[in-house]
């Protein structure tokens, strides 16, 4: 397999002058201390797609970038030493874990489009937190220019409305709702669906959204809801009333692969 050095990135470790901080995801967290400046826009887009596709919010202090070190357990330089790798929500998706987030195949395709290889699909030692850029500097510039002219399609043009069926916008909302709390999951799955993510905005989704937003009535009678606004409201509620716990401590009826939120006493 080629290395960053053979692909034109120079010798490791990359000088710190080529490393820049990035603002990732809803909360604009950095992959500390940053990434190579040539792939910075790609990492920002990768993080955006991660949250949109998997519903897994990025947490400050859990995302890592440049590290002038060797591969763990080996002598070769890590891609982190070039600033060409990023770890997303590392404590939640640790090295050796075989778990993957929701919609993993779709996330893998999105990463491939941006030139990244995802450790969740390694044939040997899996590393689901880890993404590494596999192209040349020229590839990075070319892909970055494509992002600016053709943004990812899960943008603020997506809407949710009561009665929608087989909707990607509704699925994205339902995935996000699953991370708000066990009380929301209980409502979302009360119709018998194993995970409550079916793309149908019916009574269960309306009640789950009302639960997430602390509303007394189902959220269904105000016409089209702008997806990004909904996502931001649900996110604010999640951050206000919940903290993440590890999935192994799953509640009754909550699949072990799901990262649920434990509601704090107010």
**Domain ranges, ordered by start, for the chain:** 5-149, 159-263
Model confidence pLDDT, tens digit, residues 22-57: 888 878 899 999 999 999 989 989 998 898 888 888
Dump pLDDT digits (tens) for 147-192.
743 333 333 334 567 788 887 767 777 777 776 667 888 888 888 8
Stated pTM of the model: 0.60
Extract the runs of DSSP E, i.e. beta strands, from 100-244: 116-118, 130-133, 159-160, 225-226, 242-244
- 3-state SS, residue 251: coil
CATH number, domain 5-149: 3.30.1380.10
Q: What sign for the dihedral angle of Cα 16, 22, 24, 27? A: positive
Q: What is the pLDDT of residues 63-84, one digit of tens each?
A: 999 999 988 778 899 999 999 9
DSSP 59-113: -TTS-B-----BPTTSSSBPGGGGT-EEESSTTTS-TT-----TTHHHHHHHHHH
Give the pLDDT score at 244.
33
| Mean of the per-residue pLDDT values of the chain | 78
């Amino acid at each position: 397999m080629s290395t960053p050095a053979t692909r034109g990135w120079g010798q490791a470790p990359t000088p710190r002058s080529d490393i820049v901080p990035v603002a990732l995801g809803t909360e604009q967290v950095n992959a500390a201390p940053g990434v190579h400046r040539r792939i910075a826009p790609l990492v920002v887009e990768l993080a955006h797609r991660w949250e949109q596709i998997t519903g897994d919010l990025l947490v400050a202090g859990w995302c890592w970038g440049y590290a002038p070190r060797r591969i763990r357990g080996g002598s070769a330089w890590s891609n982190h030493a070039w600033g060409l790798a990023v770890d997303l929500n590392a404590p939640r998706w640790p090295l050796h874990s075989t778990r993957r987030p929701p919609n993993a195949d779709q996330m893998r395709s999105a990463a491939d489009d941006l030139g990244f290889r995802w450790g969740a699909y390694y044939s040997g030692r899996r590393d689901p937190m880890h993404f590494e850029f596999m192209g040349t500097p020229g590839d990075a510039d070319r892909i970055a220019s494509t992002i600016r002219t053709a943004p990812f399609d899960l943008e603020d043009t997506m809407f949710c409305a009561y009665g929608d069926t087989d909707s990607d916008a509704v699925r994205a909302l339902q995935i996000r709702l699953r991370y708000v709390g066990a009380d929301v999951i209980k409502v979302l799955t009360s119709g018998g669906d194993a995970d409550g993510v079916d793309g149908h905005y019916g009574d269960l989704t309306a009640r789950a959204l009302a639960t997430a937003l602390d509303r007394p009535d189902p959220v269904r009678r105000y016409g089209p809801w702008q997806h990004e606004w909904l996502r931001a409201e649900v996110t604010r509620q999640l951050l206000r009333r919940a903290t993440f716990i590890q999935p192994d401590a799953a509640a009754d009826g909550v699949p072990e692969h799901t990262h649920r939120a434990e509601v704090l006493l107010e």
